Chains A and B, each alone.
Chain A
Amino acid sequence: MKPQELISKYIQNSLTKEEEQEFDSLLASDEGFRKEVAFHTNLKKVAEDKDDDNFRALLSDLEFNVKKKRYPKWWYVAASIIILLGAFYFWNSKKPASNEELFAAYFEPYRNIVQPVVRGEENKDLKTIAYNAYENGDFKKALNLFDSLLTHKQEPSVLFYKANALLKLNDAKKAIPILEKNSTVVDSFSEKKYWYLALAYLKDNQPEKSKEKLQMILEIENSEYKKEEARELLKRLD
């Protein structure tokens, strides 16, 4: 049997007894074969990791919907207050909400979905502390810690949360390039990056750019993330 076929069967746990012997003897004698096996074994682990992350993204989307449904009364009350205030405001000044106000109405730092419990090496502890600070609303501290994490490694998730912390600290100018730079990377934060980018541009008084990003959210397939809000915000920006 070809070595490549042996590896495929090994990855899928379908080697027969004889094939297993063949596999083992190649593993013992052939350096190149060993490297190939290592590559495919790593890829198996990475595929699992990615699949888990995709599933997590689905779950946090479901959770978001549950929370929305769970507080319907609150939403109604909040919505009526906003409408009343809006009508009052309109009546008094006949001026639509400013970009700044729209930002304040829609922005909320993305919640921490990066595993909060990591232990072990110094590096990982730093991560735990950083995300804890973020969760507890200490965004200055979180920002500092994210920065020191990033000197180690430019991890997309850390960059994403750094941008969120910056937005919360009213520093949209710095948040924009981070989100822009990463917006082409496809990961579990993809649609979220557009949403936060749209808000960042809004905050930075660039409504046209903001609209562009909102439009992109509406075009993403298989995701309901923030679509409703994006539609609503687009209307208000027009």
Chain B
Amino acid sequence: MDPSLINILINTERKEISSLYDAHRTAFINFGRKYGADPDTMADIYQEAFVVIRKHAIKGRLDQVDCSFKTYLFGIGKRMIFNYHKQTKNTVSLESMLYITDEIEEITYDTSNELSVEQTLLRTFFDKLGKRCQEMLILFYYRGLTVEEIAKKEGYDNVHVVSSQKSRCLKQLREMINTPEQ
């Protein structure tokens, strides 16, 4: 896939995401219509499909992919539409849908994203951290940026500032965990 598009997903600049979002929205909704999903549902599915494709971008799963951004996005969407029909037990016949012809191949994605009880608790503490801490931990833990990369991206003077800032954030988090609820 076009690396510049992968970078747009990873960097998540509002402007760039916005134009990408607007570019495919109408086609996506029409695509869903063909499969018996109404526009409101499709708008929700469109957003979730974006969440998934961004996850894949961050995890490096798009680097080796041959198809275009659009085809991949629609592939996720197709899978989501099928799941939606299954879950809502819609009367739309799944079988008849198999005969609709398009070049979109379904893309599978991980649906086990529920947090465990422990993680849910950790998430409530995480939400209480300041914005800077949240961002820093997201960059390090989820996006996998090294301390050097974070320093560059966030405009810190040097890696030591980042390291100590990160330790402070972790300390705050651990303190919340170890303090019993008021």
Contact B128 A55, beta carbon cutoff 8 Å: no
Interface residues on A, range: 35 or more
Residues of A within 8 A of B (CB): 11-13, 40, 42-52, 55-56, 58-60, 62-63, 65-66, 113, 115-119, 156, 185-187, 222
Minimum CB–CB distance from A235 to chain B (whole Å) comes to 27
Contact of A13 among B48, B50, B144 (CB under 8 A): B144
Provide a sorted-by-A list of 14 A–B residue pairs whose CB atoms are within 8 angstroms. A43-B137, A44-B141, A47-B126, A48-B55, A48-B141, A49-B113, A50-B123, A59-B21, A59-B47, A63-B47, A113-B44, A115-B48, A116-B44, A119-B87
Contact B115 A46, beta carbon cutoff 8 Å: yes
Q: State the majority secondary structure of interface residues on B.
A: helix
How many residue pairs link A and B with beta carbons under 8 A? The number is: 93
Interface residues on B, range: 35 or more
Contact B119 A42, beta carbon cutoff 8 Å: yes
Minimum CB–CB distance from A2 to chain B (whole Å) comes to 13
With A52-B55, A59-B50 known as contacts, the answer to whether A45 contacts B119 (CB < 8 A) is: yes
Cβ of B84: which chain A residues have Cβ within 8 Å of it?
117
Q: Encode B4-45 as 1/0 by CB contact (under 8 A) with A.
A: 000000001010011001100100000000000000000110
Cβ of B14: which chain A residues have Cβ within 8 Å of it?
58, 222
Q: Does B142 contact A (CB under 8 A)?
A: yes
Cβ of A49: which chain B residues have Cβ within 8 Å of it?
113, 115, 119, 123
Contact B144 A46, beta carbon cutoff 8 Å: no
Which residues in window 109-138 of B have CB below 8 A to A? 113-116, 118-119, 122-124, 126-128, 131, 134, 137-138
Minimum CB–CB distance from B15 to chain A (whole Å) comes to 11
Q: Does B51 contact A (CB under 8 A)?
A: yes
Cβ of B51: which chain A residues have Cβ within 8 Å of it?
52, 55-56, 59
Residues of B within 8 A of A (CB): 12, 14, 17-18, 21-22, 25, 43-44, 46-48, 50-51, 54-55, 83-84, 87, 113-116, 118-119, 122-124, 126-128, 131, 134, 137-138, 140-144, 146, 173
Cβ of B127: which chain A residues have Cβ within 8 Å of it?
50, 156, 185-187
Minimum CB–CB distance from B96 to chain A (whole Å) comes to 22
Contact B142 A56, beta carbon cutoff 8 Å: no
Cβ of A13: which chain B residues have Cβ within 8 Å of it?
144
